[in-house]
């Protein structure tokens, strides 16, 4: 139940997570906890710049130099990172206990950590360095999203100020570090785009219970392509036209899924090292990866975090952690409103359902059908701007629960 002002709920959940973070300090002019809380509030505010926010904020008295020095602190960066992971894990646990699972249509994955990964670019900071051609480069960060809960975390910064780089090396480095320190070998399943294909690496990871799914590249040239039987009568495999075991000249093995969308007849090819799923489930899981783009859209357009605040990887990664933490808390509150108060974003669900009905009629007219996995009820909808506006109003107004619950009702039922 939501029984406190929204800011108090955030403070309490953040404090619970902070108890499990090593190295938290309280004896500085700006404590680590206040810095973390202030960073989230900065994202949720409507201020156009950090300086404007510091000047107008009513909840924190922070000197501009203190806040921006903290952004550049490597020690603070480590604390912020660990706190973000603890915070997301606690929110995800609460959501799961409430029955939230956006990939529940694939029950085999109920106890598997399934992670979508993608890079996201924002505009360079005001005082960024130019590259060798005298041009500015965007700031790219790799994010991961828990596909069960929809909660996200920044994984790594790509490149440096003024320099472009590929996403694969920092991702590979981060994953290798995670595997090295892992005490138990529960499965990990990464759903990725083609930038992360390395058959030899993923074959090695498979022996450590880490698997991948991505799009097939036509230039991969497998040494062997052996057909694999699958149940063509299973409705989950609608659209699957072929399943094959591939071998890559001593590099490793993987499965190829050939799929034709039953609605549009668009052809896709997927490659995976996982073995326990139906081929149709593999295809659907990849399409679910695109939900991370909804998260990026919320970050950039609704929270208006489309520009880096400071130079340097440390500051930019901290900004990414603050953004994802704010987005995660918004997602968490939306689910708590649904679970405990029956306040679901019904207008978004109804709009999507009408859209599905139109698509189904159009497909039927062409002798086609929709994917059996399409279900408006279990879909991870993008957070509506109307919900975010209502949240901001009551978050910064410190409204009591009876006030904000009464206001969320109309905001979630219909477009105003």
Distance CA 188, CA 20 (A): 23
- Using CA of residue 101, residue 102, residue 103, residue 105, what is the dihedral sign? positive
- Overall average pLDDT of the 29-57 stretch: 85
- Overall average pLDDT of the 262-278 stretch: 95
- Overall average pLDDT of the 49-57 stretch: 71
Mean model confidence pLDDT for the chain: 92
- Domain positions in the chain are 343-413
Distance CA 168, CA 173 (A): 8
pLDDT-wise least confident of 60-64, 84-88, 321-325, 338-342: 60-64
Q: At which residue do the structure tokens 């490149």 appear?
A: 159
What does the block give as tokens for 349?
């669900």
Question: 402 CB contacts (<8 Å, ≥6 apart)?
Answer: none
Q: At which residue do the structure tokens 């480069």 appear?
A: 137
pTM of the model: 0.94
pLDDT-wise least confident of 26-40, 78-92, 261-275: 26-40
Name the pairing type of β-strands 113-122 and 188-191.
parallel
| DSSP H or E run through 240 | strand 240-247
- Overall average pLDDT of the 369-379 stretch: 79
Name the pairing type of β-strands 152-158 and 113-122.
unpaired
The 188-191 sheet, strands edge to edge: 152-158, 139-146, 113-122, 188-191, 210-215, 267-272, 253-260, 240-247, 224-227
398 closest CA partner among 11, 14, 36, 4: 4
Give 3-state DSSP helix, strand, coil % of the chain, rounded to 5.
45, 15, 40
Buried b (16+ CB within 10 A) or exposed e, 149-171: bbbbbbbbbbbebbeeeebbebb
- Using CA of residue 121, residue 76, residue 128, residue 175, what is the dihedral sign? negative
Q: State the number of CA atoms in the 13 A half-sphere of 159 facing the CB.
A: 18
- Overall average pLDDT of the 408-413 stretch: 94
What's the pLDDT tens digit per position in 134-160? 788 889 999 999 999 999 999 999 987
């Amino acid at each position: 139940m939501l029984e406190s002002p929204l800011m108090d709920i955030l403070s309490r959940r953040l404090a619970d997570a902070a108890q499990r973070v090593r190295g938290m300090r309280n004896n500085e002019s700006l404590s680590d906890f206040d810095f973390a809380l202030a960073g989230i509030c900065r994202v949720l505010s409507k201020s156009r710049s950090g300086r404007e926010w510091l000047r107008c904020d009513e909840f924190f008295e922070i000197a501009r130099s203190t806040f921006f020095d903290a952004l550049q602190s490597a020690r603070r960066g480590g604390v912020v990172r660990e706190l973000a992971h603890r915070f997301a894990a606690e929110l995800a646990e609460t959501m799961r206990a409430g029955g939230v699972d956006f990939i529940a249509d694939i029950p085999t994955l109920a106890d598997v950590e399934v992670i979508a990964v993608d890079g996201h670019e924002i505009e360079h900071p005001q005082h960024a360095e130019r590259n060798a051609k005298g041009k500015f480069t965007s700031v790219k960060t790799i994010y991961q999203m828990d596909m069960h809960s929809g909660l996200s975390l920044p994984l790594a910064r790509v490149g440096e100020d003024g320099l472009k780089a590929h996403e694969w090396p920092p991702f590979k480095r981060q994953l290798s570090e995670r595997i090295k320190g892992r005490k138990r070998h529960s499965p990990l399943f990464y759903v990725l785009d083609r930038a992360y294909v390395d058959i030899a690496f993923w074959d090695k990871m498979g022996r450590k219970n880490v698997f991948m799914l991505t799009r097939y590249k036509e230039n991969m040239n497998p040494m062997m392509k052996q057909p694999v039987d699958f149940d063509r009568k299973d409705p989950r495999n609608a659209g699957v036209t072929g399943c094959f075991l591939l071998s890559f000249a001593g590099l490793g093995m993987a499965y190829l899924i050939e799929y034709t969308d039953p609605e549009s007849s668009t052809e896709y090819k997927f490659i995976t090292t996982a073995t326990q799923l139906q081929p149709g489930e593999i295809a659907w899981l990849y399409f679910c990866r695109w939900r991370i783009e909804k998260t990026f859209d919320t970050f950039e357009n609704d929270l208006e975090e489309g520009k880096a605040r400071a130079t340097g990887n440390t500051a930019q990664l901290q900004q990414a952690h603050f953004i994802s933490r704010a987005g995660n808390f918004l997602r968490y509150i939306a689910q708590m409103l649904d679970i405990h108060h029956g306040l679901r974003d019904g207008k978004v669900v109804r709009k999507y359902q009408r859209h599905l009905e139109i698509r189904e009629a159009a497909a039927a007219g062409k002798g086609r059908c929709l994917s059996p996995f399409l279900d408006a009820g279990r879909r991870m909808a993008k957070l509506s701007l109307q919900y975010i506006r209502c949240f901001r109003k009551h978050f910064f107004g410190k409204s009591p629960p009876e006030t904000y619950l009464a206001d969320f009702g109309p905001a979630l039922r219909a477009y105003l």
